[in-house]
Chains A and B, each alone.
Chain A
Amino acid sequence: MKTCLVVDDSRVVRKVARKILEELSFACDEAEDGRQAMEACVRRMPDLILLDWNMPVMNGIEFLRSLRQMEGGDVPRVVFCTTENDLAHIQEALSAGANEYIMKPFDSDIVQSKLAQIGLV
C-alpha cells in the first residue's frame, strides 16, 4: 500500500484529504506543520506528501526545501495543496522541487487527476 503524509494546519482539510486519499488506497499519516512533517519523514519517507503552504512553525515551501536536501528526500512526490493560487507561488513551488500543485478548493476529482499526472494512481 502506498503511503501519504498530509501536511496542513487545518484539521478539517486533513480530514477531507485523508478521506479522499484513503479511497484511492493510500495509507495516511498527518502533520500539522512543516516541523512535524520533517520529523515524520525522518522516521519514514512516504510515497506522497500533500502539502499546505501557510502553516505556523515551518511553512510548506521551507519544509520542501529542507526535505529535498535530506538523504532520501528526493523520493517522495510532493503535491502542494494551498490557497496560494497565483502563478508566482506555483513557479516558486516547482523550482523548489514540487511535483504537482493543487489550488484550493479541491475535490476528489482534482486529487485523483493530479496523482495520475505523477503516476501514483
Chain B
Amino acid sequence: MKTEDFDLFQSVLKQRSGLVLTRDKAYLLESRLTPVARRWNMKDLGELAGAIRSRRDERLLRDVTEAMTTNESSFFRDGKPFELFRQVVLPTFLKAREDTRRIRIWSAACSTGQEPYSLAMILHEEQAKLAGWSVEIVGTDLSTEVLDRARAGVYSQFEVQRGLPITHLVKYFRQQGDRWEIIPEIRRMVTYREFNLLNDLGTLGTFDVVFCRNVLIYFDQPTKTRVLEAIGRIMPPDGVLVLGGAETVLGITDRFKPMDNHRGLYQLTTAPRPQGLAVKAAG
C-alpha cells in the first residue's frame, strides 16, 4: 500500500473514531477494507483512497470507519467482570439506590449486543431482588450495522457457544433453524443508540455503571484521557467503571482509581466537577 494511502486511512480513522492505526497494523486495512472496496465496485484500496480524496462521500467514510472498528464480541466475555457485576456492583447499588430504586448501566461500544444482553440476563437471574426497580441498560456503538444486529438479537450457533452457559441458551433463546434469537423479555431490557465516544457524552445522561471494555486500547493516550474524563463527568460519585483486562487508568487519568480486590473495576477519586464550573466561579 502506498504511504500516502495509508496516511489517509490513518487520518480518517483517527478523526472519525479515535482509532489509532500504526504501520504494523497495515494488514488490518487490507483485510477489512478490501470487502468495502469490492462493495463499492472498486478494484483495490488505492482506488478506495482515491475516492475518499476526490469526493468526501459520507456513506463511503462511514463504511470505512465501521469496517475498521467492528470488533468481535462474545456473551459473558472474559467471565470475571460479569461475576463482579453480579456479586459486587449490583448488591452495592441495590443498597445505595434504595431511595430512588433506579439504576442506569451503559455498555459503551457494545458491538453486536452480547455485553448488554449478558448484563440483562444477570439482572433477570436476580429479578427477585429487583421487583419495583427500574434498571435501564443502554448499549451504544459507532456502527449502525452492528447495532442493527444487536437490536435483532439473532446469533449464530458459533456465537451462542462462546461464553454462554448452556442453561442460559435454553432459558433465554429461541431456536430458528441454525440461528438463535434472544427472547423478547431480555431484548426489551436493552436500549440501543448510535453513538461516537468522541462526541459529547452529556447527551446520554448519567450512568451508575459503565462498561467500556476493549475500546480504549485502540485510542492514543490523549484520546484515552479525554474519553475517561468525559465518562467520569457522567457518573455519580459512587459510580463504577468497568474496563477490559488489558486496560488501565494508571498514567492516563487520576479521575479514576482501581477498586481494591476487584480487578477491572474503577471508581471516581473525587466527585466529578461539572464542566465549566471553574470558569463560572472565576467569573
B169 interface hit (Cβ, 8 Å):
yes
Which residues in B have their C-beta under 8 angstroms from that of A86? Answer: 175
How long is the Cα–Cα vector from A103 to B178 in the complex, in angstroms? 10
Nearest chain A residue, comparing its CB with the CB of B75: A113
Q: Is the CB of A109 within 8 A of B162?
A: yes
Q: Is the CB of A100 within 8 A of B178?
A: no
Interface residues on B, range: 10 to 19
Instruction: Given A86-B175, A90-B166, A90-B169, answer yes or no on A103-B79 (Cβ-Cβ < 8 Å).
Output: no
Q: Is the CB of A94 within 8 A of B161?
A: no
Which residues in B have their C-beta under 8 angstroms from that of A100? Answer: 165-166
State the majority secondary structure of interface residues on A.
helix
Q: Is the CB of A90 within 8 A of B157?
A: no
Q: What sequence of 0s and 1s flags, for each residue 21-46 of chain A, a beta carbon within 8 Å of any chain B beta carbon?
A: 00000000000000000000000000
Q: Is the CB of A87 within 8 A of B175?
A: yes
B-facing residues in A72-121 (Cβ within 8 Å): 85-87, 90-91, 94, 98, 100-103, 106, 109-110, 113-114, 116-117
How long is the Cα–Cα vector from A103 to B164 in the complex, in angstroms? 13
Distance in Å: Cβ of A87 to nearest Cβ of chain B: 5
Q: Is the CB of A113 within 8 A of B162?
A: yes
Which residues in B have their C-beta under 8 angstroms from that of A110? Answer: 158, 161-162
Q: Is the CB of A94 within 8 A of B166?
A: yes
Q: Is the CB of B170 within 8 A of A113?
A: no
Q: Which of A87, A98, A103 contacts B161 (CB 8 A)?
A: A103
B46 interface hit (Cβ, 8 Å):
no
Q: Which of A94, A101, A113 contacts B163 (CB 8 A)?
A: A113
Q: Is the CB of B79 within 8 A of A114?
A: no
User: Which 8 pairs from chain A and chain B are nearest by CB?
Assistant: A101-B166, A110-B161, A113-B162, A117-B165, A87-B175, A100-B166, A103-B157, A113-B163
Name 12 interchain pairs, CB-CB below 8 A, sorted by A.
Answer: A87-B170, A90-B170, A91-B170, A94-B166, A94-B167, A94-B170, A100-B166, A102-B161, A103-B161, A109-B162, A113-B162, A114-B161
Q: A residues touching B (Cβ–Cβ < 8 Å)?
A: 85-87, 90-91, 94, 98, 100-103, 106, 109-110, 113-114, 116-117
